[in-house]
Amino acid sequence: MTELQEPRPILTQEDLVRQLKDCGLKEGQTLIVHVSLRKLGFVVGGAETLIRALLEIVGEEGTLMMPSQTWKNLDPSTGVHWEEPVEWWPILREHWPAYDKEVTPAIGMGVMAEMLRKWPGAKRSDHPARSFAAVGKHAAYLTENHDLRNIFGEGSPLDRLYKRNGHVLLIGVGYDKNTSLHLAETRADYPAKHEVEESSAIRVDGVREWVTYSTLAVDDGDFVQLGDEYEKEKGVKVHRVGNAEVRLLEQPQLVDWAAAWMEKHRI
């Protein structure tokens, strides 16, 4: 027997606004959004419609943020160019384009992130591999002064979201896509915590340079387990929009809990 597939709903902007408000989204919120557009069903107008729905809900006082990472602008030895032969690595190091926040696409981050970074009035942080893009009242604050070495920690876009008492919105994705848990890693103290060296192409005084910098080694291998336990302990309500599970989480509460969990469970 073939497995029965769930009927695919069709969703307009009006449908999305109504259903997302039912999930707890409100005017004035500052959100980091992680989404699988496909999981929702058929959204009339795709990513544009979902972004317009979210902006309509949060209004002029609210802000949307998404990761707009360009992780292929890292050294090939990290595995980001896994499909290319080792013999090409020196050429990639020498010629990979320097990060340009106005031009460089959000490689592999999905159509939503790529559209948000190009949205009218969007701001984007300066990190050459781990940037964030934001639209709305606090977009400039969230994305400014993104330190090369401090990707997810103090003063980063995730930390600034924390200071804004922001929310995490997961649409059709799980905790393995929940970038805010990397902020918890920077705050937690566990034996295996260490730094690594990464390299990226950046522009210094108008000249491309291949720069190496130290930063915290991050690991999302336990994020799903962490999320399961968080939901059980906190009684997180799982909503539904179209065919997608939707979670709206208070980011500071999640980060504080996750940091304590990591200190207890990571070796």
pLDDT value at 2 more than 60? no
Inter-residue contact 97 to 104 (CB < 8 Å): yes
Give the pLDDT confidence score for residue 1 in this predicted structure.
Answer: 47
3-state secondary structure the chain: CCCCCCCCCEECHHHHHHHHHHCCCCCCCEEEEEECHHHHCEECCHHHHHHHHHHHHHCCCCEEEEECCCCCCCCHHHCCCCCCCHHHHHHHHHHCCCCCCCCCCCCCCCHHHHHHHCCCCCEECCCCCCCEEEEECCHHHHHCCCCCCCCCCCCCHHHHHHHCCCEEEEECCCHHHCCHHHHHHHHCCCCCCCEEEEEEEEEECCEEEEEEEEEECCCCCCHHHHHHHHHHHHCCCCEEECCEEEEEEEHHHHHHHHHHHHHHHCC
Q: Which residue has the higher pLDDT, 110 or 248?
A: 248
Residue type, 165: N
183-192 pLDDT, tens digit per residue, is 999 999 999 9
Q: What is the structure's pLDDT at 109? A: 84
Residue-wise pLDDT tens digits, 133-183: 999 999 999 999 999 999 999 999 999 999 999 999 999 999 999 999 999
> Checking DSSP bridges between strand 63-67 and strand 132-136, what pairing results, if any?
antiparallel
- pLDDT of 251 strictly over 60: yes
Burial (0-12, 13-18, 19+ Cβ within 10 Å), 123: buried
The fraction of the chain above a pLDDT of 90, given in percent, is 96
Which tokens sit at 187?
A: 């705050």
Closest CA relative to residue 263, chosen from 233, 217, 226:
226
Mean pLDDT of the chain: 96
Read off φ and ψ for residue 213, nearest 5 degrees: -145, 150
CA distances from 51 to 35, 58, 135, 175, 176 (A): 11, 11, 10, 21, 22
Using the predicted structure, report yes or no on whether residue 4 has a pLDDT greater than 90: no
What are 51-94's pLDDT values in tens digits? 999 999 999 999 999 999 999 999 999 999 999 999 999 999 99
Structure tokens at 17: 């606004």
Q: What integer pLDDT is reported at residue 6 of this predicted model?
A: 77
What is the rounded average pLDDT of the residues 199-214? 97
pTM of the model: 0.95
Residue 104 has pLDDT above 80, yes or no: yes
Return the higher-pLDDT residue of 197 and 110.
197
